[in-house]
Amino acid sequence: MIELSGSTTASPEHLWQVLADVESWPQWTASVRRAEFVGGGPLRLGTQVRVEQPQLPTTVWTVSEFVEGERFVWVSGGGLVRSEAVHEITREGGTTGLHLSIEWTGPLGGVMGWLARKNGPRYVGMELAGLTAAAEKLE
């Protein structure tokens, strides 16, 4: 599992606005080359998003949990490896918290986690930094 948390002075509403606009992710993080809704948006329970990332195969993610303005979880794969990524916004006094994580399960989940040890933390860190910077620009 890879897990990172941070905080920002951006409002939760602005952070969610940037986070939920998944097709704009390549504009604020180099860890995503392209993201597009499969069958149309917006982001909601059941939505599918095709994501292209450097040095990784193109992956279709399906939103499995969704709380407007606060959290979404999406999953990909199955069978031998299932990936689950959590995106969560929290209110922390005068700041807004952001938690990102990704976990691999299944018979080859441990192998995938081992393979991701090089780029995974760097990509999640890029997403955390880029997301907070993009939200702060909206303030």
CATH of domain 2-138: 3.30.530.20
pLDDT in tens, 49-88: 999 999 889 999 999 999 999 999 999 998 899 999 999 9
Q: What are 5's strand-pairing partners? A: 99
CB neighbours of 8 closer than 8 A, spacing ≥ 6? 15, 95, 96, 98, 132, 135, 136
Is residue 92 pLDDT above 90, yes or no?
Answer: no
**Mean pLDDT of all residues in the chain?**
95
Q: Residue 62, SS3? A: strand
Give domain limits for the chain. 2-138
Q: Residue 105, SS3? A: strand
